Amino acid sequence: MSYYNYAERVLSQNGYKLTIPRMIVLGLLESSDVSQNAYDMARKITSSGKTVDTVSIYRTLALLKELGLIHEMSEGKFIACQKFDCKDSSHCHHQFVCKSCRKIEEIHVDDRFFVKKIAKIFPKLLIDSHSFKFEGFCEKCK
């Protein structure tokens, strides 16, 4: 199943209609392997001759984030989840960013033992989430 079709299904399962702004934003997310913010998206939409107001883009991004369909990188920039069909919530999804071409690849590893280990080292803290950012060079750039 494609990302677009999967996202459409998740939206409808949660009672959200696939409106035109949502369709356009999902299309932009699906076709991009670099992170984008609402402003980047608005610019692309305008240059393709369509119009969607920036507020709708912001709202759509907030909704997709809430539904776990996108990951937030830095400065309000988002990337589509590449392992969107993974149903196992016991581990987290991490992102690898190429320092040369900015391409993002999802690091999909089972990290639940790592979190348990850290929790043991810091017993006074209740750690319930974590994030990693991996950087380096992608297959093409290395």
Q: Which residues lie near Zn ion (CB under 5 A)?
A: 81, 83, 86, 88, 93, 98, 100-101, 103, 138, 141
Residue 132's Cβ-side half-sphere holds a number of Cα atoms within 13 Å equal to: 16
- Min separation Cβ 59 and Zn ion, Å: 21
Which C-beta is closer to Zn ion: that of 23 or that of 67? 67
Task: Name the residue nearer to Zn ion (CB basis): 57 or 69.
Answer: 69
Q: State in angstroms the smallest separation of the CB of 100 from Zn ion.
A: 5
Q: What is the DSSP letter of 96?
A: E
Least distance in angstroms from the C-beta of 46 to Zn ion: 28
Q: What is the DSSP string of 20-66?
A: HHHHHHHHHHHT-SS-B-HHHHHHHHHHTT----HHHHHHHHHHHHH
Q: Which is nearer to Zn ion, 88 or 128 (CB)?
A: 88
User: In the complex with Zn ion, which residue's Cβ is closer, 75 or 85?
Assistant: 85
Q: In this structure, how many other beta carbons lie within 10 angstroms of the beta carbon of residue 96? A: 16
The token pair at 28 is 């932009």
In the DSSP assignment, the letter for residue 79 is E
Q: How far is the CB of 37 from Zn ion (least distance, A)?
A: 18
